[in-house]
Amino acid sequence: MTELIQTYWLYFLVGQYPKGPLGGLALTVLLAGLALVLALPLGVALGLARVSPFRIIRWPVTALVFTVRGVPLLMVVFWAYFFLPSVTGVKTDQFGTMLIALVVFDGAYLAEIVRAGIRGVPKGQFESARSLGLSYAQTMRRVILPQALRHMLPSLVNQFVATIKETSLGYIIGLTEVSFIAAQINTQVFTRGTEVYLLLGLTYFVLCFGLSRFAFWLEQRLARRKDLQPLPQPLKASA
Amino acid sequence: MPPFDFALLQHGQYHDWLVSGLWVSLLLAGLTLVFALPLAVLVALLRISPLALLRWLGAAYVEGIRNVPLLAHLLFWYFGAPELLPEAARQWLYAGNIELASAVVALTLYTAAYMAEDIRSGIRAIPLVQFEAGRALGFGFLATMRRVILPQALRVTVPPLISQTLNLWKNTSIATVIGVAEMMYQAAKVESTSFRSVEAFAFATSAYLAVSLVITGLGAWYHHRYPVRTA
Amino acid sequence: MIRFDQVNKWFGSYQALLDINETIAEGEVVVVCGPSGSGKSTLIRTINRLEAIQSGTISIGGQDIHRKGLDVNAFRSHIGFVFQQFNLFPHLSAIDNCTLAPMALKRLSPTVARERALALLDRVGLAHKANAYPSELSGGQQQRVAIARALAMQPPIMLFDEPTSALDPEMVGEVLLVIRDLVRDGMTLVVVTHEMGFAREVAHRVLFMDQGRVLERATPDDFFNRPQHPRAQQFLSDIRTPFAVA
Q: What is the pLDDT of residues C91-143, one digit of tens each?
A: 999 999 999 999 999 888 999 999 999 999 999 999 999 999 999 999 999 99
Mapping DSSP to helix (H, G, I), strand (E, B) and coil, where does residue B172 land? Answer: helix
User: Which chain A residue is nearest to residue B172, measuring alpha carbons?
Assistant: A72
Q: Which of C58, C168, B103, C123 minimizes the C-alpha distance to A234?
A: C168
CA distances from B187 to A172, B12, B131, B173 (A): 14, 14, 50, 11
Strands C29-33 and C14-24: unpaired
Task: Kindly state the average pLDDT of the residues A107-129.
Answer: 92
pLDDT of A27 higher than 70: yes
Of B79, B84, B208, the CB nearest to A72: B208
- Interface list for chain A against chain B, based on CB atoms closer than 8 Å: 67, 70-75, 78-79, 82-83, 86, 161, 164-166, 168-169, 171-172, 179, 182-183, 186, 191, 193-198, 200-201, 204-205, 207-209, 212
Sequence-distant (≥ 6) Cβ neighbours of residue A143 within 8 angstroms:
A125, A126, A129, A134, C89, C100
Q: What is the pLDDT of residue A6?
A: 81
Q: Which residue type, as a one-letter code, is found at position A196?
A: V
Q: What is the pLDDT of residue A188?
A: 86
* CA A101, chain centre distance (Å): 11
Q: What is chain B's percent helix, strand, coil content, to nearest 5?
A: 85, 0, 15
User: Which chain A residue is nearest to residue B69, measuring alpha carbons?
Assistant: A165
HEC string of A2-23 equals HHHHHHHHHHHHHECCCCCCEC
**Chain B partners (3+ C-beta pairs within 8 A):** A
Edge-to-edge order in the sheet of strand C29-33: C79-82, C157-161, C188-192, C29-33, C205-210, C213-218
Of B80, B197, B213, the CB nearest to A197: B80
**Which of B96-105, C42-51, C91-100, C232-241 shows the lowest mean pLDDT across its residues?**
C232-241
Strands C29-33 and C55-60: unpaired
Is B1 an 8 Å CB contact of chain A? Answer: yes
pLDDT of C240 higher than 70: no
pLDDT of A102 higher than 50: yes
Q: What is the pLDDT of residues A134-176, one digit of tens each?
A: 999 999 999 999 999 888 888 888 899 999 999 999 999 999 9
Q: What is the pLDDT of residue A239?
A: 35
Is C43 an 8 Å CB contact of chain A? Answer: no
Weakly modelled stretches of chain B, pLDDT under 70: 1-2, 7-9, 229-231
Cβ contacts of A207 on chain B, cutoff 8 Å: 67
Q: Cβ–Cβ of C90/A229 closer than 8 Å? A: yes
pLDDT of C214 higher than 60: yes
Q: Cβ–Cβ of B67/A166 closer than 8 Å? A: no
Q: Which of C228, C242, C189 minimizes the C-alpha distance to C32?
A: C189
> Do the beta carbons of residue C204 and residue C58 sit within 8 Å?
no
Q: Is A220 exposed, middle or buried (0-12, 13-18, 19+ CB in 10 A)?
A: exposed
Q: What is the pLDDT of residue C8?
A: 93
Cβ contacts of A237 on chain C, cutoff 8 Å: 84, 162, 165-166, 194
The Cβ of residue A21 has, within 10 Å, a number of other Cβ atoms equal to 15
CA B195 – CA A8 distance, rounded (Å) = 38
Q: Cβ–Cβ of C91/A228 closer than 8 Å? A: yes
pLDDT of C85 higher than 60: yes
Q: Cβ–Cβ of A130/C76 closer than 8 Å? A: yes
C59 forms bridges with which residues in the sheet? C3, C64
CA C232 – CA A231 distance, rounded (Å) = 36
The Cβ of residue C88 has, within 10 Å, a number of other Cβ atoms equal to 26
CA distances from C4 to A124, C31, C80, C189 (A): 26, 16, 19, 15
User: Which chain A residue is nearest to residue C163, measuring alpha carbons?
Assistant: A237
Mean pLDDT of chain C: 90
**Strand ranges in A163-227 using DSSP code E only, listed in sequence order:** none
Distance from CA of A55 to the nearest CA of C (A): 20
Quote the crossing angle between the two packed helices B150-171 and B197-225, to the nearest 10°: 170
Mapping DSSP to helix (H, G, I), strand (E, B) and coil, where does residue C7 land? Answer: strand
Distance from CA of A159 to the nearest CA of C (A): 24
Mean pLDDT of chain B: 88
- DSSP states of B184-206: HHHHHHHHHHH--HHHHHHHHHH
Q: What is the pLDDT of residue B8?
A: 66
Q: Cβ–Cβ of C73/A124 closer than 8 Å? A: no
Cα angle for residues B165, A206, A178 (degrees, 5° grid):
80
Backbone dihedral angles phi then psi of residue C217, each to the nearest 5 degrees: -135, 125
Distance from CA of B145 to the nearest CA of A (A): 30
Task: Kindly state the average pLDDT of the residues A90-117.
Answer: 91
Is the alpha carbon torsion for B61, B64, B66, B68 positive or negative? negative
Is B64 an 8 Å CB contact of chain A? Answer: yes
pLDDT of A236 higher than 50: no
Distance from CA of C245 to the nearest CA of A (A): 26
Sequence-distant (≥ 6) Cβ neighbours of residue C59 within 8 angstroms:
C2, C3, C5, C65
pLDDT of A235 higher than 50: no
Q: What is the pLDDT of residues A31-77, one digit of tens each?
A: 999 999 999 999 999 999 999 989 999 999 999 999 999 999 999 99
User: How many CB pairs below 8 Å do chains A and B form together?
Assistant: 109
Cβ contacts of C136 on chain A, cutoff 8 Å: 226
pLDDT of C144 higher than 90: yes
> Do the beta carbons of residue A39 and residue A50 sit within 8 Å?
no
Cβ contacts of C37 on chain A, cutoff 8 Å: 238-239
Of B84, B173, B191, the CB nearest to A74: B173
User: Which chain C residue is nearest to residue A142, measuring alpha carbons?
Assistant: C100
Strands C188-192 and C157-161: parallel
CA C83 – CA C72 distance, rounded (Å) = 19
Cβ contacts of A160 on chain B, cutoff 8 Å: none
Contact map slice: B 204-223 vs A, CB within 8 A: 204-205, 208-209, 212-213, 216
Distance from CA of A126 to the nearest CA of C (A): 9
C210 forms bridges with which residues in the sheet? C213
Helical segments of A51-144, H only: 55-70, 73-88, 94-120, 123-132, 136-139
> Do the beta carbons of residue B198 and residue B4 sit within 8 Å?
yes
Name the DSSP letter for residue A177: B
Mean pLDDT of chain A: 87
Q: Cβ–Cβ of C149/A132 closer than 8 Å? A: yes
Q: Does residue A18 have a cis bond before it (omega within 30 degrees)?
A: yes
> Do the beta carbons of residue A209 and residue B87 sit within 8 Å?
no
Q: What is the pLDDT of residue A238?
A: 37
Through-space distance between the first and last CA atoms of chain C, rounded to whole angstroms: 35
Cβ contacts of A121 on chain C, cutoff 8 Å: none
CA B63 – CA B77 distance, rounded (Å) = 18
> Do the beta carbons of residue A182 and residue B80 sit within 8 Å?
no
CA B221 – CA B227 distance, rounded (Å) = 10
Q: What is the pLDDT of residue C106?
A: 81
Strands C188-192 and C29-33: parallel
Q: What is the pLDDT of residue A65?
A: 93
